[in-house]
Structure 1
Amino acid sequence: MLICPQCEFENPEDHKYCQSCGISLTDKICCQCRENIPIEAKICSFCNAVNHTILWAVIAQKIVIEESEDREKNQITNDIVPEEKKIEIDNLSDFFTKNPDRAIPGLKIQANSETISSRYEAEDEPSPIPYLQTTADSLNKTILQGKVIDKYPLQKSHLATLQKQQMDLFAELSQDLSNSYLSVTQYWNLVGVPTHALPYLILEKYTPTIPKIYDAWQQRDRGVVLLPDRSQWKLMTELWSQQKLPLLQIIWFLDEMAKLWEPLHQISCAQSLLVNDNLRIDEDQSFCFQQLYMDSIDNPPNLKDLVTAWQLCFAESNLDCIDNLNQLLDRVISGEIIEVEQLRLELHNLGLGEDEIESFDIHSNYHSVNIPQPESNNIEPHNDLENTKEQSFFDEADNDMIYSSEFEEQATAMIPMELRCINNASCTDIGSQRDHNEDFFGMRTVIEETENNTDSSLNVNGLYLVCDGMGGHAAGEVASAMAVESLQKYFKTQWQGDLPDRETIEQGILLTNETLYQTNIDNSRSGSGRMGTTLVMALLHNTRMAIAHVGDSRIYRITRKQGLEQLTLDHEVGQREINRGVEPDIAYGRPDAYQLTQALGPRENNYVRPDIQFMEITEDCLLLLCSDGLCDNYLLEENWQQYLKPLISSDTNLQEGLFDLVNFANEYNGHDNITAILVRVKLKPDF
């Protein structure tokens, strides 16, 4: 199967265009000059830009343990007994070119009716491939690592195929660590997953700090793991050396690493935090790993090793004026501090000072690797309910890591965050089954930027609106447009500085309802002939946000830690019954379950009760405002990881990503108009 790079649809091997979105499966667009070039081209023939997919390979080859050594250890850690004691390969080029007959079936690719013996090849430019490391890891293996090229990036990976075949097994892996981590490795090797691939799969929720695995397979005595190539990313020590960073920013980096100590220690990968060349900085200057390193079974690292590694980073970066910090780290080395949460507490107190400590649960930043995330609200999917939506209105009368130490309940200080950047995108589509579009949206973002030699800051006010109109004789599209224009005009005069208060927001919504209602009266509209509209609205001032809604249009928040969160609850009969204590299955078993209980326009202000919430943005996120044509039938709940989660990263195109989501929604739903606004908020510590 060929995986479409745009919509990830699986196409037959001989197809030249994606059956789902129609893009070419034989050509691609050059990343630099935007000309069409062959999909397998490494270098653009027009501008000579590099265009191939470069990966970082980590190949583990078993070292044979002599019979005189610990036989039990050999049994626990042995993946597949090698045929020879001699290590046969010296570099990546040898591995990907020698003995092609030993390649596993999943890596054979059909192209132009010819069998390609190897999908991946070692990159021979611009520098030689690194040779075997001289040290062995905890599984008695030597590690070969370096860059490789995926010659057929459209081909489904062996790991993806295996995950689809063993879906239940992989789901269990991420939830159950009740058995010893090393005791289950032989079982995973038998299904084709190398031992050193398991940590990436278990800790996938920590992406992108921990790289997401690209492919993996077991090939006799060798386990192969392919990762995104981060070898060119800036080292953390480089950043520390090149910029004069304030103490608080250094403490923030240390705390980011300390957060991961327990999850990594739990699966024997804490060594990853101790290798200076492994600590990288991404495009948002956030801490990331290049890869994971396995701990030694006999001598796993402890907290003293972690702070010793930090001190080596200080020395390499020529950091000075950190006497207080070094004194704190010396307390760990001396044994005075033995718990990582106590270390984090002391770091925060050192950074902010006793007078500035705010209440903050230190454990709120953790997500356990063996505790399931709480389920989201049980809200049933919608169908094509536009008519019942209109009629109903007139029939109604109205994550965490667990510790047991004494510091578990201790509060500490949180480093305040500020805006790094903000981007937005919008899209509206008539849908595949409608003859006109009754949705309407509006956006207004005002950005004031202040910059000097050493710093820059943003002051942002953003107003985002989505309305889904309803009513006969094209009245729905009139109502939604009127609502957006009325609210934009209102807030242009009523909102000048900080976020408006609850009363101001509610007054703007009620004035809009009054305008629509009076228009209905003036035009002698009654019953289901009255025009109306839903409303979902977000007001953003820097890292503070207010949201309001009337009806069943929704707002979602997407973060790497919490995933997809629905921030609004639909104003409809089924949800109203759930709020009254009725079981969800019974509430949404009613024939009128999806009928609206609130909307703007059909009724006077006494019957309009907008829900208004205020919240703080504390991490990078996406905000999605949408009409129900996008979110019906669990579309977002089941597909957000594919279409939305990647867009949190600054190096993705927000507008193109939204287009892809709306195109998919037309195939998945398509029964209604589809409208969405995406806002990407990126934060940085306020040092």
Structure 2
Amino acid sequence: MNAQTCHNCGAECGTIWWAIIAKVENFVIGEADFDNIEKQRQDEPESSLFALDGIHEACPENVDSESISPVGDGKQLLQPESGGQVMKPEEELESENVPTLPTPPVSVSTSASSSFPEGSYLDLQQRYKLLELLPNLEEMPANTQWCVRVLDCQPYQISLLEAMATNQYQELATSSQSAVSLPYLAKAYVALQPYTNQGIPPIHDAWQQGDIQVVLLEDRDRWLYLLDLWRDDKTSSLQLVNYLYQMTRLWALLEPFNCRQSLLELPNLRLDEDQALALQMLYVEPLKNTPATPLTNTTSGEDFSIQTLGRVWQKLFKESQRTQFGSLLELLGDLEIGNIQTLLELQSRLQAIASELQTPSSTNKPNMTSAANQDHDSPPILQLNEQEEDTATKLIDDLPTVVLPMQLISLEHAGLTDVGRQRHHNEDYFGIDTKIAKLELPNTRNLQARALYILCDGMGGHAGGEVASALAVNTVRQYFKTNWIASELPTEDQIREAIRQANQAIYDVNQQDARSGIGRMGTTLIMLLIQNTQAAVAHVGDSRLYCVTRKRGLEQLTVDHEVGQREISRGVEPNVAYARPDAYQLTQALGPRDENFIIPDVKFFEISEDSLFVLASDGLSDNDLLETNWQNHLLPLLSSGVNLEDGIRDLINVANDYNGHDNITVVLVRAKVRPALESQKEIVTG
């Protein structure tokens, strides 16, 4: 876990972070009203991952309190060492100077002495090992910053920043009631965490010692440059317009936090694994008429306007040697001479250009109306300020609401069952039945999918539980083979009928074998149905469906059918409900009783962002295992580069170590979606 590469095969296995080390002295920047922004978000706690001005929370119980210390003067940098060379500056893209485009971060002279040679640690706790050379911080010029990659030698330990946000480590919370302030350079990252799905780099950790600030981010140093894609002849004009539109959305997000400079650095514009626009890091802006510094990379008195953004677009075309085409050339001209004054006008022009670029066969036209004029029965929409309705970004509130059809671009799955460490036989069973058709053309990638995922946890002992769980899975699969024939999800009545037939099949066997009492076999059932971006979940018992997204984190989509939850639904306090000796006894299961006693929960929803679905038996979900460990063991699985089969084996191992008292079954489903840009839906979206 503390190695960058495997010593056997050489594969990269370590967790790498992008470290920004800044020396800040008398640094005057455009002060964003973070306190007011955070106050406005208090009604939406799920939108704000961390407190901004003061953090009274602390670390979970599994964190060694001696290995961490509060943000501020508590967490320290490792003391300098002698010898070694300084890291080489990051190779920069060759570019012609443009007045509104400052140079990338300051590089380090290789003649300076190095106090942090490769292999030393960035912090006294010896968690973050340097993979590159770092110069002597004491000799570091004021208001400059360096970027290096560091290896996390304790990847499964929660970071200090995240620990304070979880509000679980009560010892720190009670021992010190004084607020702990974040390094200023970290505040914008923290405030913008709800928008990591729009390209904002996620922050991992941050601390400050004296005038040295440290921020650790997701390592995007090796991500593809947007400029490289711009140079690719296979990139369509419509794709280029879409990237320009994404930049306007980011501009609106970054403006309240004085970070628009982030969009003006071509080397900072990257592409994620699905070729969506992303930023490598954030740049802050100084106040007008203050001296420019290498830290800000901004000319003194720089006026950030949409004309500034237009010059970046011109530079993209110039450096890629790609010809500007008709309508876009006209737009850039109007932008430069001031004929386009607002971001709304600019986005409307971009959308009009996108409509021109659609294929003649397209018939649907983009629908762009204000939020106030939206009809309540209109299709699902995504506002440019996202569902958090962040009142801090007032400019976003003034932008249009876009009817945003999504399309499925990838659907992957893996399933595994394990007997556990205390059971002698496995009563769990799962089934996966998918039909996926792909269409790929030069400018189009489309996927049509129909998928059924079922997991059952049987009960009734040997030759009972495993029979019931297998019978339920196979009955449901057989039902949908003949009743799921249209290009849409089955109806709620059809889903209930499938479960009713599964219950009846098990019940009939119980009756035929004259089983009674606890000898009657039965099973829980959880199933997920997906038709393109539409989904449905149905369940009976305490097997669960979870969903993990970058925006909302871990969500449990089902409520267990057990006595404790029944009592809570009746108004009993949770601690009282689960103090009952029968709190975990099931109130519903397939098989023991006839259909009159089975009332499955059925819910429909839309997959509107990249999602990881987890179907889990209680051998995995018991004792809040996933709630405690999802960030380390589930969140990474959202990435297309991570193998789901490896991830599911990892979950089984963790469940055996953490629980192990029961059979463990997991089905993982990774669904990736993108706006339907090149399909019949003529929409340009971010």
Same fold, TM-score > 0.5, yes or no: yes
Cα 1:92–1:414, aligned 2, differ >3 Å: closer, same or farther? farther
Q: Give the Cα–Cα distance (whole angstroms) in 2 for the partners of residues 261 and 569 of structure 1.
A: 40
Deviation for aligned residue 1:346: 6.6
Q: State whether residues 161 and 206 of structure 2, in contact with CA within 8 Å, keep that contact through their aligned partners in structure 1.
A: no
Helix, strand or coil for the counterpart of 2:490?
Answer: coil
Q: Deviations over 1:246-272 (max 9, x none)?
A: 555344333433443344333322211
In structure 1, which of residues 522, 538, 544 is the aligned counterpart of residue 528 of structure 2?
Answer: 538
Helix, strand or coil for the counterpart of 1:618?
Answer: coil
Cα 1:119–1:529, aligned 2, differ >3 Å: closer, same or farther? closer
Q: Give the Cα–Cα distance (whole angstroms) in 1 for the partners of residues 581 and 13 of structure 2.
A: 55
Deviation for aligned residue 1:284: 1.2
Deviation for aligned residue 1:559: 1.1
Structure 2 residues not aligned, in runs of 5+:
32-71, 74-84, 87-106, 136-140, 170-178, 289-301, 356-362, 368-377, 679-686
Cα 1:233–1:165, aligned 2, differ >3 Å: closer, same or farther? closer
Cα 1:517–1:348, aligned 2, differ >3 Å: closer, same or farther? farther
In structure 1, which of residues 424, 432, 445 is the aligned counterpart of residue 434 of structure 2?
Answer: 445
In structure 1, which of residues 281, 285, 288 is the aligned counterpart of residue 271 of structure 2?
Answer: 281
Q: Which amino acid in the other structure matches residue 306 of structure 1?
A: L
Cα 1:95–1:502, aligned 2, differ >3 Å: closer, same or farther? farther
In structure 2, which of residues 435, 446, 455 is the aligned counterpart of residue 457 of structure 1?
Answer: 446
In the alignment, structure 1 residue 313 sits paired with structure 2 residue 286 = no
Cα 1:337–1:590, aligned 2, differ >3 Å: closer, same or farther? farther
Output aligned runs, 1:77-476, within 5 Å.
91=108, 97-98=114-115, 106-107=123-124, 109=126, 119-122=129-132, 141-145=143-147, 147-148=148-149, 150=150, 153-154=152-153, 162-163=160-161, 188=181, 194-207=183-196, 209-213=199-203, 218=208, 221-243=211-233, 245-246=235-236, 248-298=238-288, 299=302, 301-317=304-320, 318=322, 320-321=324-325, 323=327, 327=331, 330=334, 334=338, 337-338=341-342, 351=354, 355-357=365-367, 359=379, 361-363=381-383, 366=386, 399-402=388-391, 408=397, 412-476=401-465
Q: Which amino acid in the other structure matches residue 554 of structure 1?
A: R
Structure 1 residues not aligned, in runs of 5+:
6-24, 37-43, 73-78, 81-87, 111-117, 130-135, 172-183, 368-398
1:678 match: 668
1:517 match: 507
Q: State whether residues 160 and 205 of structure 2, in contact with CA within 8 Å, keep that contact through their aligned partners in structure 1.
A: no
Helix, strand or coil for the counterpart of 2:605?
Answer: strand
Helix, strand or coil for the counterpart of 1:660?
Answer: helix
Q: Which amino acid in the other structure matches residue 555 of structure 1?
A: L
Q: Deviations over 1:362-408 (max 9, x none)?
A: 437536xxxxxxxxxxxxxxxxxxxxxxxxxxxxxxx2312796985
Q: Give the Cα–Cα distance (whole angstroms) in 1 for the partners of residues 546 and 630 of structure 2.
A: 11
Q: State whether residues 381 and 401 of structure 2, in contact with CA within 8 Å, keep that contact through their aligned partners in structure 1.
A: yes
Q: Deviations over 1:125-146 (max 9, x none)?
A: xxxx9xxxxxx9xxx723344x
Report the identity percentage: 42
Deviation for aligned residue 1:291: 1.6
Number of residue equivalences: 558
Q: Deviations over 1:574-603 (max 9, x none)?
A: 333444455545544444433322221111
Q: Which amino acid in the other structure matches residue 546 of structure 1?
A: A
Deviation for aligned residue 1:678: 0.3
Cα 1:330–1:601, aligned 2, differ >3 Å: closer, same or farther? farther
Q: Give the Cα–Cα distance (whole angstroms) in 1 for the partners of residues 384 and 584 of structure 2.
A: 36
Deviation for aligned residue 1:418: 2.1
Q: State whether residues 161 and 204 of structure 2, in contact with CA within 8 Å, keep that contact through their aligned partners in structure 1.
A: no
Helix, strand or coil for the counterpart of 2:434?
Answer: strand
In the alignment, structure 1 residue 29 sits paired with structure 2 residue 6 = yes
Q: State whether residues 557 and 565 of structure 1, in contact with CA within 8 Å, keep that contact through their aligned partners in structure 2.
A: yes
Output aligned runs, 1:18-57, within 5 Å.
29=6, 35-36=8-9, 56-57=18-19
Q: State whether residues 344 and 399 of structure 2, in contact with CA within 8 Å, keep that contact through their aligned partners in structure 1.
A: no
Q: Which amino acid in the other structure matches residue 616 of structure 1?
A: E
Q: What's the C-alpha RMSD, in Å, of the aligned pairs? A: 4.3
Output aligned runs, 1:536-685, within 5 Å.
536-685=526-675
Q: State whether residues 342 and 407 of structure 1, in contact with CA within 8 Å, keep that contact through their aligned partners in structure 2.
A: no
2:22 match: 60
Q: Which has the higher contact order (CA 8 A, sep 6+)?
A: 2
Q: Which amino acid in the other structure matches residue 423 of structure 1?
A: E
Cα 1:255–1:565, aligned 2, differ >3 Å: closer, same or farther? farther
Q: State whether residues 466 and 535 of structure 1, in contact with CA within 8 Å, keep that contact through their aligned partners in structure 2.
A: yes
Q: Give the Cα–Cα distance (whole angstroms) in 2 for the partners of residues 331 and 243 of structure 1.
A: 26
Cα 1:95–1:605, aligned 2, differ >3 Å: closer, same or farther? farther
TM-score, scaled relative to structure 2: 0.70
Q: Give the Cα–Cα distance (whole angstroms) in 1 for the partners of residues 408 and 515 of structure 2.
A: 47
Deviation for aligned residue 1:349: 6.8
Q: Deviations over 1:172-199 (max 9, x none)?
A: xxxxxxxxxxxx9xx74xxxx7543443
Q: State whether residues 269 and 280 of structure 2, in contact with CA within 8 Å, keep that contact through their aligned partners in structure 1.
A: yes
Q: Give the Cα–Cα distance (whole angstroms) in 2 for the partners of residues 63 and 403 of structure 1.
A: 28
Deviation for aligned residue 1:207: 3.9
Q: Give the Cα–Cα distance (whole angstroms) in 1 for the partners of residues 220 and 386 of structure 2.
A: 25
Q: Give the Cα–Cα distance (whole angstroms) in 2 for the partners of residues 308 and 215 of structure 1.
A: 34
Helix, strand or coil for the counterpart of 1:240?
Answer: helix
Q: Give the Cα–Cα distance (whole angstroms) in 2 for the partners of residues 92 and 55 of structure 1.
A: 23
Helix, strand or coil for the counterpart of 2:123?
Answer: helix
More divergent stretch after superposition (342-351 vs 460-469)? 342-351
Q: Give the Cα–Cα distance (whole angstroms) in 1 for the partners of residues 502 and 553 of structure 2.
A: 34
Q: Give the Cα–Cα distance (whole angstroms) in 1 for the partners of residues 341 and 573 of structure 2.
A: 49
Q: Give the Cα–Cα distance (whole angstroms) in 2 for the partners of residues 662 and 270 of structure 1.
A: 44
Q: State whether residues 314 and 332 of structure 2, in contact with CA within 8 Å, keep that contact through their aligned partners in structure 1.
A: no
Q: Give the Cα–Cα distance (whole angstroms) in 2 for the partners of residues 616 and 634 of structure 1.
A: 26
Q: Which amino acid in the other structure matches residue 414 of structure 2?
A: A
Helix, strand or coil for the counterpart of 1:106?
Answer: coil
Helix, strand or coil for the counterpart of 1:98?
Answer: strand
Q: State whether residues 538 and 603 of structure 2, in contact with CA within 8 Å, keep that contact through their aligned partners in structure 1.
A: yes
Q: Give the Cα–Cα distance (whole angstroms) in 1 for the partners of residues 591 and 17 of structure 2.
A: 56
Q: Give the Cα–Cα distance (whole angstroms) in 2 for the partners of residues 679 and 572 of structure 1.
A: 26
Deviation for aligned residue 1:674: 1.6
Q: State whether residues 385 and 393 of structure 2, in contact with CA within 8 Å, keep that contact through their aligned partners in structure 1.
A: no
Cα 1:416–1:98, aligned 2, differ >3 Å: closer, same or farther? same
Cα 1:311–1:676, aligned 2, differ >3 Å: closer, same or farther? same
Helix, strand or coil for the counterpart of 2:220?
Answer: coil
Cα 1:559–1:549, aligned 2, differ >3 Å: closer, same or farther? same
Cα 1:551–1:199, aligned 2, differ >3 Å: closer, same or farther? same
1:380 match: none
Cα 1:405–1:280, aligned 2, differ >3 Å: closer, same or farther? closer
Q: Give the Cα–Cα distance (whole angstroms) in 2 for the partners of residues 268 and 407 of structure 1.
A: 14
Deviation for aligned residue 1:222: 4.2
